[in-house]
A and B are shown apart, each in its own frame.
Chain A
Amino acid sequence: GAVVSQHPSWVICKSGTSVKIECRSLDFQATTMFWYRQFPKQSLMLMATSNEGSKATYEQGVEKDKFLINHASLTLSTLTVTSAHPEDSSFYICSGFGAYGYTFGSGTRLTVV
């Protein structure tokens, strides 16, 4: 079946630094990649949608200059959290959409200290 590999699975960073999260579709081409954020005991909130080679479309209230998304190829998308603050601590999940439908990554737990 389709697999999306998401790395790192967890990361701790200092306030003010940037963190990059990577998602690769291993055996299919993800024409669209979705990025979600999930706070404890809450549901997944869609942050942005990106199509390969195009600029990402951000949901209302999500700062595009803070959450940089790159989808340069059909198998790789990255989310960079810039100038991270403690309130950005969350579980970030990507999902690739392709021939097999939606496939989710295993998530990245970000802790900003």
Chain B
Amino acid sequence: DAKTTQPNSMESNEEEPVHLPCNHSTISGTDYIHWYRQLPSQGPEYVIHGLTSNVNNRMASLAIAEDRKSSTLILHRATLRDAAVYYCILRVYNNNDMRFGAGTRLTVKP
């Protein structure tokens, strides 16, 4: 299975943009890139997903490298409520498994 590598932790200041990186050098052509986040004592929450093109939604943007070996989740203006563990996950096409890596713990400072 393709795996992802993320920094253990990152810090950001409130109202500043945050770029959360994810390396997935063994990604295959049909793997989707998913991002979820988990607040303390809660289940994961969907953030965004993509395949090849960059994606935007109301929560975030996903920038995918041209070779797809890495991607970056962009929070345009971090708020205190964005403090969470962010997981970058590869989902194999036609396989519903969703397996989590270690994730990045984002701390947002006021």
Contact = CB atoms under 8 A, between A and B. Distances in A.
A48 B93 CA distance: 19
A60 to B, nearest CB: 13
A104 interface: yes
A102 to B, nearest CB: 6
B76 interface: no
Contacts, number: 47
Nearest to A94: B43
B109 interface: no
A6 B41 CA distance: 13
Size category of the binding interface on chain A: 20 to 34
A91 B80 CA distance: 24
Of listed A34, A44, A49, A93, residue having the most chain B CB within 10 A = A44
How would you classify the secondary structure of chain A's contact residues: helix, strand, loop or mixed?
strand
A49 B95 CA distance: 11
B45 interface: yes
B97 A43 contact: no
Nearest to B101: A43
Interface of B: 34, 36, 38, 41-46, 49, 87, 96-103
- A-B pairs, top 5 by smallest CB distance, nearest first, are A104-B43, A44-B100, A43-B100, A104-B44, A93-B43
Given A43-B87, A45-B100, A107-B43, 4 more contacts: A4-B43, A46-B97, A46-B98, A102-B98
